[in-house]
Amino acid sequence: MELLKDKIKQDGIAVNEHILKVDSFINHQIDPELMQKIGEDIATHFKNQNITKVATIESSGIAPALMTASALGVPLIILKKQPSKILNQDLYQTVVTSFTKETNYELTLSKKYINAQDHVLIVDDFLANGEAATAALRLLRMSHATIAGLAVLIEKSFQPGHAKLAAQGIEVYALAQIEEMSENYIKFKE
Ligand code: 5GP
């Protein structure tokens, strides 16, 4: 998506070879107009797949996921992070390794909001090592829902997430794919 790539070129900050900061339009301050266009783009891509729900991981995925859900006319479910592992029989629960924070956390989803008839599209901000997306898949599959695919705003293609998900048969739709990065340098995949 050229609009997103232009925005990344203009306002994204490549901190080093691994970390891209997009705090001014995605992660801290949010550009609502850009999010709406992103949601429309993702919804158009998946429009013929009979999606019943969009799912995201709190918190950075919520804005683009909400816009996608709105464009598809379906509810958004938020997979919630919690620090402790208190077992709760009303929840599906799984552990995730965080790329940015280098810690583990628990991802949870209430059994009330998902069932085996659901066909779910996962939307998130970044795809890096694929840990968050793999955990989201694991959690959603506990309900026997089926997965339409994963849409991410930014894929760091030099990290193994895409390959990991493709190996599980998951379609990955990335609006901007970064082939290579270093301090103040970003190269997009053509
Ligand atoms: P993964 O589980 O694929 O390694 O990482 C996914 C999560 O880590 C994303 O949802 C995002 O929150 C965070 N993340 C990974 N790489 C970056 C990055 O370069 N910049 C920012 N801002 N977040 C990232």
Each residue of 80-118: pLDDT tens digit?
998 667 778 899 999 887 766 677 889 999 999 999 999
Within 13 Å of residue 33, how many CA atoms lie on the same side as its CB? 2
Whether 20 lines ligand 1, by a CB cut-off of 6 Å, is: yes
Coil vs helix vs strand at 189: coil
152 within domain boundaries: yes
Query: Hey, what are 88's tokens?
Result: 């709760």
Residue 76 belongs to domain spanning: 32-179
Here the tokens at position 180 are 């290579």
Candidate from 21, 125, 129 with most ligand 1 atoms within 8 A of CB, to mutate? 125
> pTM to 2 decimals?
0.96
**Ligand 1 touching residue 125 (CB < 6 A):** yes
pLDDT band of residue 190 (cuts 50, 70, 90) is confident
Residue 114 covered by a domain: yes
What's the 101 CA to ligand 1 centre distance in angstroms?
A: 9
Provide the domain count of the chain. Answer: 1
Q: Is beta strand 91-97 parallel, antiparallel or unpaired with respect to 104-110?
A: antiparallel
Provide the pairing of β-strand 172-182 with 146-156: parallel
Reading the block at residue 33, the tokens are 């107009």
Contact call for residues 134 and 57 (beta carbons, < 8 A)? no
In a domain, 12, yes or no: no
The reply to whether ligand 1 has any atom less than 6 angstroms from the CB of 118 is no
- Write the single-letter amino acid at 164: K
57, 80, 98, 126, best to mutate for ligand 1 pocket (most atoms within 8 Å of CB): 126
Is 124's C-beta closer than 6 angstroms to any atom of ligand 1? yes
Residue 45 domain-assigned (yes or no): yes
In a domain, 125, yes or no: yes
Overall residue count recorded for the chain in this entry: 190
> Does ligand 1 come within 6 angstroms of the Cβ of 129?
yes
**% of the chain residues with pLDDT over 90:** 88
> pLDDT at residue 136 above 80?
yes
In this structure, is residue 126 part of a structural domain? yes
- Mean pLDDT, residues 6-14: 98
52 lies in a domain?
yes
Nearest to 154 by CA among 183, 184, 133: 133
Measured in degrees and rounded to the nearest 5, phi and psi for residue 164 equal -60, -40
Q: CB of 161 closer than 6 A to ligand 1?
A: yes
Crossing angle of helices 62-72 and 32-45, rounded to 10°? 50
Q: Is 186 in the pocket of ligand 1 (CB under 6 A)?
A: no
Task: Report the alpha-carbon distance of residue 94 to residue 188 in Å, rounded.
Answer: 33
Distance 154 CA to ligand 1 centre (A): 9
Task: Kindly tell me if the per-residue pLDDT of 141 is higher than 80.
Answer: yes
Q: How far apart are CA 180 and CA 110, in angstroms?
A: 38
Higher pLDDT, residue 97 or 74? 74
**Whether residue 69 has its Cβ less than 6 Å from ligand 1:** no
Gap from CA of 19 to ligand 1 centroid (Å) = 8
Instruction: Give 33's strand partners.
Output: none
Tokens standing for residue 135: 């955990």
- The CATH number given to whatever domain includes residue 101 is 3.40.50.2020
Query: For 63, what's the count of Cα atoms within 13 Å in the CB-facing half-sphere?
Result: 18
pLDDT digits (tens, 9 = 90+) for 57-70: 999 899 999 999 99
Flag whether 79 is in a domain.
yes
Dist CA 114 CA 103 (whole Å): 27
